[in-house]
């Protein structure tokens, strides 16, 4: 996923990862970097929004429950920004149907419940980016 086939000069796909749990953030960053993505990992919602505004990624992975701005708050801001079509995957320990419904209602493209398989997360990211092209 670092460059489209036949275009070795293309930049890697940029992914923003925001999670206040350092272990999860590091795991997601490692798995996506290993797959060839350029990952910017941040520890909270405020940092996620600042990073998004400074350099919008091709995809964002946001934890729902973060200090400052929640992942839902950041998602709302993304959808209201000049880049509303950036795919967003929400990560959350909140697994009730109403929590998942809220994520999709606000504009999430996917919702993954913790704990999750890093391999499955990578497949979902790959699929979201393929559909966004």
d(CA 9, CA 123): 24
Q: Give bridge partners of residue 92 from the DSSP assignment.
A: 113
Q: Is 31's pLDDT higher than 60?
A: yes
User: Is 111 a domain residue?
Assistant: yes
User: Is 52 a domain residue?
Assistant: yes
User: Is 119 a domain residue?
Assistant: yes
Specify the number of domains making up the chain: 1
User: Is 77 a domain residue?
Assistant: yes
Pull the structure tokens for residue 21: 């749990």
User: Is 73 a domain residue?
Assistant: yes
Q: What is the pTM of this model?
A: 0.92
Domain extent for 71 = 14-132
- 57-77 pLDDT, tens digit each: 999 999 999 999 999 999 999
């Amino acid at each position: 996923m670092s460059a489209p086939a036949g275009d070795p000069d293309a930049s890697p796909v940029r992914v923003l990862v925001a999670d206040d749990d350092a272990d999860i953030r590091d795991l997601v960053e490692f798995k996506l970097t290993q797959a060839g993505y350029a990952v910017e990992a941040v520890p909270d919602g405020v940092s996620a929004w600042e990073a998004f505004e400074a350099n919008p990624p091709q995809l964002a992975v946001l934890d729902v429950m973060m200090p400052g701005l929640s992942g839902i708050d950041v998602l709302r801001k993304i959808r209201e920004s000049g880049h509303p079509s950036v795919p967003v995957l929400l990560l959350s320990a909140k697994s009730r149907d109403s929590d998942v419904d809220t994520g999709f209602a606000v504009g999430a493209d996917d919702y993954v419940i913790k704990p999750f398989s890093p391999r499955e997360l990578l497949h979902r990211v790959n699929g979201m980016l393929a559909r966004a092209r």
